[in-house]
């Protein structure tokens, strides 16, 4: 069952996935009672960091209920259909799920992770981390050359109402403003946004929060069994077996390492990557 964001998904694949979802729904209706205790896992981090991949693997677990970025939980966001603007809606909808394990991917809520972890039952989170050059390359290829600039714009004007600038540490925002240039290469802009989003992991103190683990994209796609077993141990759920790993592909690792970034931007991002290398992550208990 192919990852939804990959190319080449045909009619049969779509029908197979619909049938799989139907079987999951029926199976959970028969197996689980309404209102039972549950664990809610949030997959967060910077866009293009492997969040779709790991979310897809959890989706293949017959015991999970999963929510994509655009879902009933973001129904209150009439502009982008991404934000969880109604906490009561999110909590009540999740409470109605029969499954004891709910996985959601609210990337644009990463800057409010502590709020959601405190609000959701037994809330935990995985913060996906991928090499900045690979993310910058994927960002430009997938979203276009203007996307990095558009993502930085709310930070430049310090707009707290925009998720890109919300809760961003003022010192980090000032660093980004100092390096930004209107004529900078598109990959530089995308890399600066990678820096902004990942700085939130540390400014929110998530590196010291037992409810949160960093997860390396490279680890996930090169050793998926080890990482996913660690993920299930982290949330206290039984591992459903290697059958969920069939769609993992590692071909995109390192594809952006030759992207030409200006030295100042590269050095900034290298420093952030080094900070992540020093914190515990899935499948590696100690730095």
Q: Could you read off the pLDDT of 82-91 as tens digits, one per residue?
A: 999 999 999 9
Of 8-17, 49-58, 99-108, 256-265, minimum mean pLDDT range: 8-17
d(CA 188, CA 114): 29
**pTM of the full structure:** 0.93
Structural domains in the chain (count): 1
Residue 284 domain-assigned? Answer: no
Residue 212 vs residues 45, 127, 201, 222: alpha-carbon distances, Å = 12, 7, 10, 22
**Residue 2: which pLDDT band, with cuts at 50, 70 and 90?**
low
> What pLDDT band is residue 196 in, cutting at 50, 70 and 90?
very high
pLDDT for the residue numbered 154: 98
Contact assessment for residue 141 and residue 115, using Cβ atoms and an 8 Å cutoff: no
Q: Which is nearest to 274 in space by CA: 212, 195, 217, 205?
A: 195
Pick from 193, 183, 210: nearest CA to 268: 193
Mean per-residue pLDDT, 220-233: 96
Instruction: Give the pLDDT of residue 287.
Output: 42
Q: Is residue 4 part of a domain?
A: no
Residue range of the domain that includes 151: 11-277
Specify which residues 64 forms β-bridges with.
Answer: 101
Mean pLDDT across the stretch 243-253?
Answer: 89
CATH number for the domain spanning 172: value is 3.40.50
- Percent of the chain at pLDDT > 70 equals 94
Considering only CA atoms, which of 69, 67, 92 is closest in space to residue 82?
69
| Domain-located, residue 1 | no
Does 188 reside within a domain? yes
Rounded-to-integer distance, Cα 129 and Cα 44, Å:
9
Name the nearest CA neighbour of 145 among 231, 259, 287, 265. 259
> Which residues pair with residue 284 across a beta bridge?
281
Kindly state whether residue 238 falls inside one of the protein's structural domains: yes
For residue 254, name the pLDDT band (cuts at 50, 70, 90).
confident
Mean predicted confidence (pLDDT) in 96-124: 96
Q: For residue 214, what is the enclosing H or E element?
A: strand 212-216
Does 16 have pLDDT greater than 50?
yes
CA 108 to chain centre: 9
- Give helix 147-156 / helix 170-179 axis angle, nearest 10°: 130
Q: Is the pLDDT score of 68 beyond 50?
A: yes
- Is 24 within the bounds of a domain? yes
In a domain, 286, yes or no: no
**Does the residue 39 lie in any domain?**
yes
Neighbouring-strand partners of residue 129: 216
């Amino acid at each position: 069952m192919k990852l939804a964001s990959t190319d080449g998904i045909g009619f049969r694949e779509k029908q197979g996935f619909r049938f799989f979802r139907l079987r999951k729904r029926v199976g959970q209706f028969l197996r689980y009672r309404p209102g039972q205790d549950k664990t809610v896992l949030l997959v967060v981090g910077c866009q293009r960091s492997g969040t779709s991949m790991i979310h897809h693997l959890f989706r293949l677990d017959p015991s999970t209920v999963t929510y994509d970025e655009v879902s009933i939980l973001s129904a209150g966001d009439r502009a982008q259909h991404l934000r969880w603007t109604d906490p009561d809606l999110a909590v009540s909808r999740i409470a109605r799920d029969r499954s004891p394990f709910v996985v959601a991917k609210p990337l644009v809520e990463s800057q409010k992770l502590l709020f959601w972890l405190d609000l959701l039952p037994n809330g935990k989170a995985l913060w996906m981390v991928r090499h900045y050059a690979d993310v910058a390359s994927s960002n430009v290829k997938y979203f276009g050359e203007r996307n990095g600039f558009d993502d930085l714009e709310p930070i430049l004007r310090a707009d707290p109402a925009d998720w890109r600038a919300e809760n961003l540490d003022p010192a980090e925002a000032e660093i980004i403003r100092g390096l930004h240039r209107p004529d900078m290469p598109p990959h530089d802009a995308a890399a600066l946004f990678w820096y902004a989003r990942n700085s939130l992991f540390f400014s929110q103190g998530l590196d010291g929060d037992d409810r949160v683990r960093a997860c390396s994209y490279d680890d996930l796609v090169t050793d998926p069994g080890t990482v996913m077993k660690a993920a299930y141990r982290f949330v206290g759920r039984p591992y459903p077996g290697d059958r969920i790993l069939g769609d993992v592909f590692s071909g995109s690792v390192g594809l952006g390492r030759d992207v030409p970034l200006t030295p100042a931007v590269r050095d900034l991002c290298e420093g952030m990557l080094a900070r992540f290398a020093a914190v515990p992550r899935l499948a590696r208990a100690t730095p």
